[in-house]
Amino acid sequence: MVSVVQAFIDFLKNNKKLSDNTIDSYKRDITQFLEYLEKINIGCFEVKKATIINYMNLLKHKNRSQATISRHLSSIKSFYQYLFMNRLIDEEPAYTLDAPKIERKVPATLSIDQVDKLLSYEFEKSEKGLRDKAIIEVLYATGLKVSELISLRIDDVNLNYGYIYCKSTKERFIPIGDSAVDALQNYISVRENVKNNDYLFLNMRGKALTRQGCWKIIKEYTDIVNPGFDITPSILRKSFAKHMLENGADIRSVQEMLGYKSTGSNELISLIAKSKIKEVYKKSHPRA
The set of catalytic residues is 237, 281
A 10 A CB-CB count for 171 gives: 9
Angle between helices 211-225 and 127-142 (to 10 degrees): 90
A 10 A CB-CB count for 41 gives: 7
Calculate ∠ Cα 164-237-69, nearest 5°: 125
Task: Please report how many Cα atoms fall inside a 13 Å half-sphere around the Cα of residue 196, on the Cβ side.
Answer: 3
Calculate ∠ Cα 165-169-170, nearest 5°: 55
With H, G, I as helix, E, B as strand and everything else as coil, classify residue 261: coil
Which of these, 206, 217, 202, 204, lies nearest to 153 by C-alpha position?
Answer: 202
**Cα separation of 26 and 79, whole Å?**
9
Q: Taking a C-beta distance cutoff of 8 angstroms, is the pair 108, 87 a contact?
A: no
